[in-house]
Amino acid sequence: MTTKGIWILIGSFLGVVILILIASWHLLKGRRRQSDDTPVEDEVGFAAPKALVFKDFGCRKMSLKEIYAATNNLRALNIIGQGIAGKVYKGVLPDGCHVAIKHIKDGYAETFMREVTSLSHIRHPNLVALQGYCEEEDECFLVYELCTNGNLSEWLFGKDKTLSWTQRLEIAIGSACGLWFLHTYPEGCIVHRDVKPTNILLGADFEAKLSDFGLSKVVDVGVSHVSSEVRGTFGYVDPEYRQNHRVNAAGDVYSFGIVLLQLLSGKRVINLNVMRRPMSSSRMPKIPTRGGELSDFADPRLRGEYSVEAFELSLNLALSCVAHKQQRPSMEQVVASLETALQISTTTESYSLSIY
């Protein structure tokens, strides 16, 4: 073989090697891109690319230094609450804004991600606003607006605190409006899955704000339900959900119905005897009212200062919420009924004042 032939052979060989290297590089790059863009589906149904899990949210990412400065180094005196996922501290940001800062415990990273993904881009007067988050040095914090009147549980079941009849109705309406907004969210129905008094915060004017979206789940548009293991708080979980593991808006309606019964009665435990099998709505009124006597069911702290007509309307509404799924109203219907009850109550109060 001539020298020229040898060089041609070597050149051809090098060309093939270069082509193989280029093809391998593109293949590796493609696999990395595919890995980075693979959706991460958590238990509650939020999917996001791995590289975007903590990016492009509507709230501000804060530094650990800012968190410690706001809470005076997580001072024990600043603790205002504690849940399963961690302690909550009151804090003050550099601009003077008062906030509530939740320190997420180790092992609750999924809860942290759900809260950020569900609340960061959603704003509504009856949903607690997530103002920022911190994810640094294996520490996770969520920064919320501060609701100065605590949570509904403190006012319903705590000592030396009481809510008037109209305040209860307004809190119920606010909570229902928040759920209505979530259930009709354009990108898919957001099911809260943990509606209860401790997760209904009260602002300065006792306006209700739903909080704690750590168990929330999205049901895509056009889909009736999604399957999931049973999650939530005992006593508020829909019995039908416990049986079929189907997550849908009806589960939140049931939980809200229990909360409404608590608002009406002031009782912490509502025993409807339906934990294993839902009961028809025709039988249920006899249980909480003990034969139909409203005075036996109404919270004694109301001292009879409520409209009987509005109370009965609200009670029947609550009972329809905890009936069979097919008999439950939508949250839009719940809001309409509660607003009617409030209108009746305010009209009755105005009339009562005018006759004296």
67 vs 30, higher pLDDT: 67
Q: List pLDDT tens digits, range 297-329.
A: 899 999 999 999 999 999 999 999 999 988 999
Residue 44 has a pLDDT of 33
d(CA 197, CA 206): 13
Distance CA 332, CA 182 (A): 11
Tell me, what's the pLDDT at 59? 78
Mean pLDDT of 237-261: 94
- According to DSSP, residue 131 is labeled E
| Cβ-contact 216, 238 below 8 angstroms | no
- 180-206 average pLDDT score: 94
pLDDT of residue 292: 53
Confidence of residue 222 (pLDDT cuts 50, 70, 90): confident
Residue 204, both tokens: 């300065």
- How high is the pLDDT of residue 8? 52
Which amino acid does the sequence have at 324? Answer: H
Please indicate whether residue 217 or residue 252 has the higher confidence score (pLDDT).
252
DSSP state, 328? Answer: P
| Cα dist from 280 to 257, 288, 297, whole Å | 15, 14, 20
> Which pLDDT does position 215 carry in this prediction?
86
Strand partners for 98: 92
Instruction: Decide if 205 is catalytic.
Output: no
Q: What is the pLDDT of residues 73-92, one digit of tens each?
A: 999 999 998 878 889 999 99
Which of 97, 95, 93 has its CA nearest to residue 148? Answer: 97
pLDDT of residue 307: 94
Mean pLDDT is lowest, of 59-68, 101-110, 161-170, 223-232, for 223-232
What would the 3-class secondary structure string for 116-131 be? HHHHCCCCCCCECCEE
Which residues in the chain are classed under CATH 1.10.510.10?
152-347
CA distance 209 to 148: 11
Q: Is 144 helix (H, G, I), strand (E, B) or coil?
A: strand
**Structure confidence by residue, pLDDT tens digits, 32-44:** 333 333 333 333 3
What CATH topology corresponds to 60-145?
Phosphorylase Kinase; domain 1 (3.30.200)
Query: What pLDDT shows up at residue 48?
Result: 34
Q: Is residue 56's pLDDT more than 60?
A: no
pLDDT over 70 at 274, yes or no: no
| Residue 211 clears pLDDT 70, i.e. is over it | yes
pTM of the model: 0.77
SS3 58: coil
Instruction: Using the predicted structure, report yes or no on whether residue 112 has a pLDDT greater than 60.
Output: yes
Lowest pLDDT segment from 162-166, 268-272, 292-296? 292-296
How would residue 283 be classed by pLDDT, with cut points 50, 70 and 90? very low
Mean pLDDT of 186-215: 93
Average pLDDT, rounded, for the chain: 80
The larger pLDDT score, comparing residue 165 to residue 22, is at: 165
Taking a C-beta distance cutoff of 8 angstroms, is the pair 247, 217 a contact? yes
- Domain(s) labelled CATH 3.30.200.20 in the chain stretch across 60-145
Average pLDDT over residues 127-152: 92
Catalytic residue among 95, 194, 205, 238: 194
232 half-sphere exposure, CB direction, 13 A CA radius: 27
Task: Please say if the pLDDT value at position 102 is more than 50.
Answer: yes
Q: How do residues 153-182 score in pLDDT, each as one tens digit? A: 999 999 889 999 999 999 999 999 999 999
pLDDT value for 86: 86
What amino acid occupies position 110? E
CATH superfamily label, 152-347: Transferase(Phosphotransferase) domain 1 (1.10.510.10)
